[in-house]
Amino acid sequence: MVVMSKAVLHQVAEYFKVLSEVSRLEVLCSLKDGAKNVTQIMAETGLGQANVSKHLKILTQAGMVKRRPQGIQVYYEISDPRILPMCELVCQGLQNRLQFQLQEFHPTPRSQGQSDNLFAN
Amino acid sequence: MVVMSKAVLHQVAEYFKVLSEVSRLEVLCSLKDGAKNVTQIMAETGLGQANVSKHLKILTQAGMVKRRPQGIQVYYEISDPRILPMCELVCQGLQNRLQFQLQEFHPTPRSQGQSDNLFAN
DNA sequence: TAATTATATTATTATATAGTAATTTAACTA
DNA sequence: TAGTTAAATTACTATATAATAATATAATTA
């Protein structure tokens, strides 16, 4: 992190905020194996048309997704390759944490006080 | 991402939401080189007491920070080593993006259409 | 025990935004 | 050109939450 100015922190916060909505994560998930148009995204996620459009705009403005009009349709695709790995990283961290909490139900001498770091690798 | 259920996506979104507030990022930054008590965090961030307490509660519940009472004071420290690298990753992505946008003001044959991926490594 | 200091909680207000219905815009086609 | 379809925008409502003042809790000390 080295010392981040308030302005930079604001941008980082904005970035995370984009990823902090289930619907937007669903949209990103629906794009994980290639470009799709709005109708296809609606079908896959079950979200309403206006809603999908709005989320896609937010994702596009954040630079996470690329907009590509093609005739009467508009295709979107993930443009930031960091996103999926990052989601997976978080996901893995959550798994680790739950696993740790689960272990607390089986108190053995070895598993006690091993590490006070929930996310040790 | 492999296919994430809605329940998992919800948790991932929650995690990102915790990181999507400037004040909480400031608190995390103030802890990046070691444990601090609430008063010290208040001093370093300039945030109000109730506000810091509330943010620390949220960070603790998310497993990002560890609470350690010590006498009349309570010390907090980062417990999830993924957080700072992740913030830096985002930060770097934002830098790359701005650099790309800046290049668009100096259109040279080489810099045109090199990659339509804003975040290429 | 009373007073003090540090932290947590509660109540309140103001602001932001997700979802939706209705409308508009844009591209294609008969 | 009129009609059709896809996507974007607008207006609105409901909900969530950040910040703060006031109060409560908890640990220490005189």
Closest CA-bearing residue to C1' of C28? A72
Give me the residue label for tokens 């329940």: B7
CA distance to A28, A41, A66, B73, per residue, from A59 (Å): 9, 13, 8, 42
SS3 A78: strand
Closest CA-bearing residue to C1' of C29? A72
Gyration radius of chain A over CA positions: 19
Give residues with Cβ within 8 angstroms of A69, minimum separation 6.
A75
The pTM for the full model equals 0.88
Residues of B in contact with A89 (CB under 8 A): 82, 86
Q: Let me know if residue A1 belongs to a domain.
A: no
Point out the residues of chain A with pLDDT beneath 50: 1, 111-116, 118-119, 121
Q: How many domains does chain A have?
A: 2
- What are A23-36's pLDDT values in tens digits? 999 999 999 999 99
- Is A17 found in the same domain as A52? yes
Q: Let me know if residue A116 belongs to a domain.
A: yes
Domain with B31, as residue range(s), is: 16-78
Residues of A in contact with B66 (CB under 8 A): 116
- Is A19 found in the same domain as A49? yes
Entry field: residues in chain B: 121
Confidence at residue B111, expressed as pLDDT on a 0 to 100 scale: 46
Q: Let me know if residue A15 belongs to a domain.
A: yes
Confidence at residue A11, expressed as pLDDT on a 0 to 100 scale: 94
Q: What is the CATH number of the domain that holds A51?
A: 1.10.10.10
Q: Let me know if residue A86 belongs to a domain.
A: yes
> How far, in Å, CA of B63 to CA of B81, rounded?
11
> Do B8 and B47 form a contact (C-beta atoms < 8 A)?
no
Q: What is chain B's pLDDT, residue by residue, as a tens digit (121 residues)?
A: 456 788 899 999 999 999 999 999 999 999 999 999 999 999 999 999 999 999 999 999 999 999 999 999 999 999 999 899 898 899 889 989 889 888 878 777 654 444 445 445 4
Single-letter residue type at A27: V
Choose among A15, A79, A116: nearest Cβ to B90.
Answer: A15
> How far, in Å, CA of B94 to CA of A12, rounded?
8
